[in-house]
Amino acid sequence: MKKYSKKTNKEKGATALDISTGALIFMLFTSIIFTLYLQIYKQSSLIKIHQDVMGYAIEICEDIDLKNYSETENLDEYKNYIISKINLPVDKYTLILQQEKYIDTHPGANDIIKKIIVNIKYTFDNQERSIEIKKLKVKE
């Protein structure tokens, strides 16, 4: 009886092509995971900043509701007062208060309504951003 034997090549380990393919796949997936992590971190940081800014803006609007119509006439003094009251970090955020009186756009009308614009500006990821809330104040 004849024995048939098949010659097989001996495997000598990983070749350069195997190593380079593995390194390429590892770098590809590592960079994708790192990019996704960075984007998630940026979005969560931006959401946190928006939460803080909206909280400050709502506190300002609530304080405007508690004030009389005449107490919000001089917005420069009121701005300094509200910054100290709500502990707004002026190194991170810039508060801009503006008012538009109804009498300015409609001459001859009574001075009973004004619109106060609360604008808080901040910088995130080298971009200037802002949140603006408009509040009506009615003379009682």
Domain parsing of the chain, residue ranges: 17-138
Burial (CB < 10 A; 0-12, 13-18, 19+), residue 5, is exposed
Question: pLDDT, tens digit, for every residue of 39-90?
Answer: 999 999 999 999 999 999 999 999 998 888 888 888 888 898 899 999 989 9
Tell me the whole-structure pTM to 2 decimals.
Answer: 0.75
Question: pLDDT, tens digit, for every residue of 27-37?
Answer: 999 999 999 99
> What is the 8-class DSSP label of residue 51?
H
pLDDT of residue 69: 83
